[in-house]
Amino acid sequence: MAPGHYFWAIFYFACLCSASLANNAKVNFREKEKKILDQILGAGKYDARIRPSGINGTDGPAVVRVNIFVRSISKIDDVTMEYSVQLTFREQWLDERLKFDDIGGRLKYLTLTEANRVWMPDLFFSNEKEGHFHNIIMPNVYIRIFPYGSVLYSIRISLTLACPMNLKLYPLDRQVCSLRMASYGWTTADLVFLWKEGDPVQVVKNLHLPRFTLEKFLTDYCNSKTNTGEYSCLKVDLLFKREFSYYLIQIYIPCCMLVIVSWVSFWLDQGAVPARVSLGVTTLLTMATQTSGINASLPPVSYTKAIDVWTGVCLTFVFGALLEFALVNYASRSADRAADIQRENMKKKRREMEQVSLDAASDLLDTDSNATFAMKPLVRHPGDPMAMEKLRQCEVHMQPPKRPNCCRTWWSRFPTSPLKKVPCFGRGQCSRSKRIDVISRITFPLVFALFNLVYWSTYLFREEEED
C-alpha cells in the first residue's frame, strides 16, 4: 500500500475516534448523574432515617442553617389576632454521606424533587394556624446536593400565624408578630437550628400592606425546655406600625365634626324646641352608630383602648349638649312661671294703689255742711311703698362709686330677671336660660380643646415610650 493511503486511513480513523469520544462524553455526563444518584441514594447505601453526623464527622448534633425570604404579607387581622404571610423557606445542612465526584467541576449540584429520598430536619412552625404548599404548575420545592455533601432544601409555603396583640394604644399602636420555627422530635443533643450568617431574613422590596407598615424585623433564638428535653427554636419578630391617616379620616375627624355640630344647638333660639331636640338626638344617634361600628371591627378585650377613650368622651359631649337644652328649657319655663306670678302681683298692687288714690281723691273732694274741705296729712305712713322706693333711690345715689368689674359688666348683659328690658346680642329681653346658653358656647369648646390636648399628648408620649 502506498504511503499516501496509510496517511488517509490513519486520518479517517482519528476522526472516527474523536467523534466517538465526543458522543460518549455527552452521554456519559448525563449517565454519570444517574450513576452518582444510584451510588449515594441506592438501596442499602443511604438510610434517610439516620441523621447526619455532627461538625467534622463528630457525634455532636447536626447543624441546620435557616433563612427565609418574605414574598408577601396579605393581611393582619385585629379581630382574630393573626396574619398571613407567603415566604420561601430554605434549610441547609451537611451530610457527608452524600459526597460525590464533580467530574472536574462539571457537576455543580444534583437536583431532587422528592424530599423523602434524603434525611430532612423535622422543623415545624409553632404558632401556625393554617398552612399549605404551592403545587401550581409543579410543586414549588427542590433539593440540591452539592459535591462536598451540603444539602439545600427550598420550598414556597403560605402560612396563617397567630399574632397576640396589645390594643391599649389602638390606633396609635405598634404590633410585633413573630414567626417561630422549632424541632418537633430531635432534641438539641441531635439537632440544632441556626440562622444563616449574613442575611438570614430577606423581604421583598415592594412589600405593601393596607393599614400597616413593616418598620423592621429582628432574628433571635427561642429554645424551649419540656419534660422530654430541650428543643432548638428560631424566631423572627416583625414590627408593624399602624397607619394612622386612615383612622384620622375615618374616625377622628368625623367624631370632631359631630361634636361641633351638637354645639349649634347653643346658638338656636330657646323657643325652637323641635329644632334643638332633633339636632341633639340626631347627633347622639349618629355618634352611637359610629362607636358601634368601631367596636365591631375590634376584638372584645377587657382593657380600655385609646379609641374607646376618644369615642366615649365625644359621646359624652354630644349627650351633654342634649342635656344642656333640657336644662335651658326647664330654666325658661321656671322663669316664665316666675314672671307670670310677679306680673300678677304687680297688677294686684297697682289695683290697690289705684283704689287708695281714688279714696284719697274722694276724701279731698268731700265737704261737710259748713263747706269746708277736709285736709289730709301730706306725710305718708312708714309702710307706704312709694316712700320706701324714694328712700331706696336716695340710698343708691348716696353710695360711693365702685371700681368696675369686667366679668360683672359682661355678666350684667344677661340679667336673671325676665322682665328687665336689656339688649342681649340684639335679641330682646334675656333670662337665666339665656345665660346657660352663653356659658355653654364658651365652656364646651374650651373643655373639648383641653381634652384634645391631654389626649394627644398622653398617647403620643406613651407611643414614644414604647418605641
Please give the grid coordinates belonging to residue 82.
393573626
The phi and psi torsions of 112 (rounded to 5 degrees) equal -125, 155
Distance CA 66, CA 155 (A): 12
pLDDT score, position 174: 92
Helix axes 306-365, 273-296, angle to 10 degrees: 170
pTM of structure: 0.70
Write the DSSP symbol of residue 48: T
Is residue 75 within 8 Å of 83, Cβ to Cβ? Answer: yes
Residue type at 394?
Answer: C
Give how far Cα 331 sits from Cα of 181, 268, 275, 276, 437, Å.
70, 16, 18, 15, 11
Q: Would you state the pLDDT for residue 349?
A: 76
- Gap between the Cα atoms of 238 and 72, Å rounded: 13
Q: Determine the Cα–Cα distance for residues 235 and 284; give it in Å rounded to an integer.
A: 48
> Strand, coil or helix: what is 24?
helix
pLDDT value of residue 354: 73
Per-residue pLDDT, 409: 60
Nearest to 128 by CA among 68, 179, 81: 179
CB 298 within 8 A of CB 78: yes
> What is the structure's pLDDT at 389?
55
CA 252 to chain centre: 12
- Which residues, in sequence order, are CB contacts of 314 under 8 Å at separation 6+? 255, 256, 258, 259, 287
The model's pLDDT over 14-53, given as tens digits with 9 standing for 90+, comes to: 555 555 544 444 445 667 778 888 888 877 788 888 899 8
* Alpha carbon distance 359, 2 (integer Å): 182
Tens-digit pLDDT profile for residues 356-390? 777 666 666 554 444 444 444 444 455 555 555 54
User: Are 236 and 199 contacting, i.e. CB atoms less than 8 angstroms apart?
Assistant: no
Paired with 125 in beta bridges are 181
Can you name the residues that pair with 77 across neighbouring β-strands?
A: 82
Q: Which residues of the chain have pLDDT under 70?
A: 1-30, 335-342, 359-431, 463-467
Q: Please state, in angstroms and rounded to a whole number, the distance separating the CA atoms of residues 233 and 184.
A: 10
